[in-house]
């Protein structure tokens, strides 16, 4: 597991902490792989009753580390780590809880839409900058966001 994803199991709750505060907890392919592995592993672990995802410091996540994605030209065969992660949160068998301790940007917002519960600190805010970056919203966020917060808030 990458050092940028810390895991702890306490009182049958698996906590995944995005721990890359020097890069505003921006997510790399390796970090996605580590989180996917932890969530899939928790599905089969009777010692885990729930999963919490949070960020270290004052940021939940700035979203994807675009430099990592751009430099990851050599893709291994099989499912990309980001896809494995998105499938893992979609298919999680244990309650998936987000503890949002600061800004949740891009995929940081998208992953909240797949959680069973999202708790937001007063410092939390949410942005989906996909169109500003020339990107297509991922993982059903253009459908799930209006369903979660209503059309007027989603626009």
pLDDT at 150: 52
pLDDT digits 0-9 by tens, 45-57: 999 999 999 999 9
- Report the CATH number that the domain containing residue 98 is assigned in CATH: 3.90.226.10
pLDDT at 154: 45
Q: How far is the first Cα of the chain from the last one, in angstroms, to the nearest whole number? A: 37
Domain count, the chain: 1
Which residues of the chain have a pLDDT value below 70?
A: 1-2, 69-77, 129-155
pLDDT at 24: 95
Q: Which distant-in-sequence residues (6+ apart) come within 8 Å of 149 by Cβ? A: none
- Print burial letters for 85-122: b (CB count within 10 Å at least 16), e (below 16): bbebbeebebebbbbbbbbbbbbbbbbbbbbeebebee
Whether 2 contacts 30, CB under 8 Å:
yes
Quote the domain boundaries for residue 65.
5-154
pLDDT at 140: 53
């Amino acid at each position: 597991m990458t050092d940028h994803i810390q895991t702890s199991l306490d009182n049958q709750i698996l906590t995944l902490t995005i721990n890359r505060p020097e890069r505003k907890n921006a997510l790399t392919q390796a970090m996605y792989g580590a989180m996917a592995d932890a969530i899939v592993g928790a599905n089969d672990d009777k010692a885990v009753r729930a999963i919490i995802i949070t960020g270290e410091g004052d940021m939940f996540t700035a979203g994807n580390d675009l430099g990592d994605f751009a430099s990851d030209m050599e893709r291994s065969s099989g499912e990309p780590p980001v896809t494995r992660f998105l499938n893992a949160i979609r298919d999680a068998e244990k309650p998936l809880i987000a503890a949002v301790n600061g800004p949740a940007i891009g995929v940081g917002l998208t992953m909240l839409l797949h959680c069973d519960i999202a708790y937001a600190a007063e410092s939390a805010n949410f942005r989906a900058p996909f169109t500003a970056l020339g990107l297509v919203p991922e993982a059903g966020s253009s459908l799930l966001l209006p369903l979660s917060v209503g059309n007027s808030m989603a626009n």
